[in-house]
Structure 1
Amino acid sequence: MRNHHRTTQSSEYLRFAVKHMTQQQAPLHPASHAVWYQDVAGINPHLQAEVDELLQRSRRLDDADVYALYDRYTAEFGTATALRIGESVGHLMDQVSESAAQMGHEVSRFGDSLEDWSDTLSEPESAGGEAAKADFVNRADRALYLAKTQGRNQVILAPRPQPANSRQTGPQLR
């Protein structure tokens, strides 16, 4: 609620609002303040009309009445909307957390792959290190060109080196 009254006028409205608030069954809280301030200041004629109607019927407003008036006439958005927004934000935060956990798992797998490749590439020449390096470059090259054919922002992982009798023929899509 925005107040465009001068301080002296606001003080006078607040004094009347507090008087009305203390005569009701609803406890004193910000929603009650907003409703009664707007009522006595004449800010919202529709609110004034409903307050007058409610007071003629029941003489005193309870908390449910005040919150209903607040939701309809003074809140930037209703309580139900605020709750839905809160639930949506909570759901999004859960998704972010799950994505971060999944990303951590993927990074760990990638680190394991780098470590395996590093071990393979650092093998001495007599153990086939040069052949392993050439195989690594060839697999990476095939994966790169396959990713390029798939379009922008594509990731293709080259398969891990397999024993000669069970070697895979091409890169794996991810």
Structure 2
Amino acid sequence: MAVKHMTQQQASFHPASYAVWYQDVAGINPHLPAEVDELLQRSRWLDDGNVYVLYDRYTAEFSTATALCIGESVSHHLDQVPESAEQMGHEVSRFGDLLEGWSDTQSEPVSAGGEAVIADFVNRADRALYLARTQGRNRVILTPRPQPANNRQIEPQPR
């Protein structure tokens, strides 16, 4: 029945046209037949413009404009993936360097001031954690290793 209705109209045969006529004859959407009847009373046939309006209004899960907008957004984000992956690689490398430095401090004997180094590390990590939390979601704060020459605290640097 849907195909029969399609052949009696000026609209092209395409998935949107079939979806509109199928839902009309199947009674899936109770408001669609009323609008189809109203359009047919004004004009003897439905053209592609009418069919797409009906499709967007009654059949599509989201409008054609929304689908195009989503497609453009996805394309934009996919274009940024290689740059983000490269940046992530650099950050992972820096994190690895920091872990290696931390591992070196852990292997120092406690009698040579290792407890102070561990306490300093924990304090710097704690400050960095709270600084990251105040700056919002998905933030990472890296702190440089303290320089023992001048023995001063180094504040965390946002990344």
Report the TM range for the smaller structure's normalisation.
Answer: 0.5 to 0.7
Q: Do the aligned residues in 1 keep the contact of 2:24 with 2:33 (CA within 8 Å)?
A: yes
Give 1:102 shift: 2.9
State the match for 1:58 in structure 2. 43
Distance 2:44 2:37 in 1: 9
Q: Deviations over 1:75-106 (max 9, x none)?
A: 22322333444455556656766554432211
Distance 2:122 2:68 in 1: 47
Q: Deviations over 1:90-149 (max 9, x none)?
A: 56656766554432211122344566x49x88xxxxxxxx79xx5787455313123335
Give 1:73 shift: 1.3
Report SS of the residue matched to 2:31: helix
Report SS of the residue matched to 2:153: coil
> 1:94–1:66: structure 2 CA closer, same or farther, 3 Å change rule?
same
Aligned residues: 145
State the match for 1:7 in structure 2. none
Distance 1:49 1:32 in 2: 17
Distance 2:120 2:66 in 1: 52
Q: Do the aligned residues in 2 keep the contact of 1:156 with 1:171 (CA within 8 Å)?
A: no
State the match for 1:159 in structure 2. 145
Correspondence 1:172 to 2:155: yes
Distance 1:135 1:101 in 2: 38
> 1:135–1:87: structure 2 CA closer, same or farther, 3 Å change rule?
farther
User: Matches of residues 21-100 of structure 1 in structure 2 within 5 Å?
Assistant: 21-90=6-75, 99-100=84-85
Q: Compare 23-32 and 92-101 and name the one that shifted more.
A: 92-101
Q: Which runs of 5+ in 1 are unaligned?
A: 1-15, 122-129
Q: TM-score, normalised by structure 2?
A: 0.64
Residue 122 of structure 2 aligns with an amino acid whose one-letter code is: L
Report SS of the residue matched to 1:169: coil
Q: Which runs of 5+ in 2 are unaligned?
A: 134-140
- RMSD over aligned Cα, in angstroms? 3.8
